[in-house]
Structure 1
Amino acid sequence: MNQQNIFEKLSKIFHEVFTNPNIVLTASLTATDVDGWDSLTHMILIDEIETQFNIKFKLKELNKLKNVGDLLEIIELKLAS
């Protein structure tokens, strides 16, 4: 799966989790940029990403996330291995 496909799939997940089809994903997007992105929706988001991409995150990976670009990078690495 290439980066564009991952990004498109990730966009759909964000739209579903936050019930907002107007969210535009960028590499620099953070939780403070999205209405309703709190600790609960963050866990729902991570769970949905793990399910849709059939991957599992480690806690230390999640702690390093600063933005969507970081998330994309980790997903790419996990899918490549």
Structure 2
Amino acid sequence: MDDFTKVQNMVATLFEAPLESVTLQSSKDDFVLWDSLNHLNLIMEIESEFNVSIGIEEIAEIRTIQGIMDLLKRHRNK
């Protein structure tokens, strides 16, 4: 399973959204359940699934699915 598919599944499950509604262009405004608590739940799932540690500044910057993918790419290139 590729990274986008993993993230897509996480977001769809966590925010109770149809899988096909989660695209690279999706933002937190597209999901009713993407609140501050679920934002942290998403961060913890990403850290666990991809074995990364996301900094405080990065947590605040995540607002889109593309942003998550960019973050993962940056962490892989460290």
Structure 1 length-normalised TM: 0.80
The answer to whether 1:74 aligns with 2:65 is: no
CA-atom RMSD, angstroms?
1.8
Cα separation, 1, equivalents of 2:59 and 2:41: 13
Unaligned stretches of 5+ residues in structure 1: none
- Asked whether the 8 Å contact 2:16–2:33 carries over to 1, the reply is no
Q: Deviations over 1:43-81 (max 9, x none)?
A: 111111111111110011122233211111011121233
Q: What is the DSSP-based 3-state SS (H/G/I as helix, E as strand, rest coil) of the residue aligned with 2:53?
A: coil
Which residue identity does 2:48 align to in structure 1? T
Count of residues in Structure 1 that have an aligned counterpart in Structure 2: 77
Structure 2 length-normalised TM: 0.82
Q: Which structure has more RCO (C-alpha within 8 Å, separation ≥ 6)?
A: 1
Unaligned stretches of 5+ residues in structure 2: none
Which contiguous aligned blocks of 4+ residues in structure 1 show a shift greater than 6 angstroms? none
The answer to whether 1:10 aligns with 2:7 is: yes
Cα separation, 2, equivalents of 1:50 and 1:80: 16
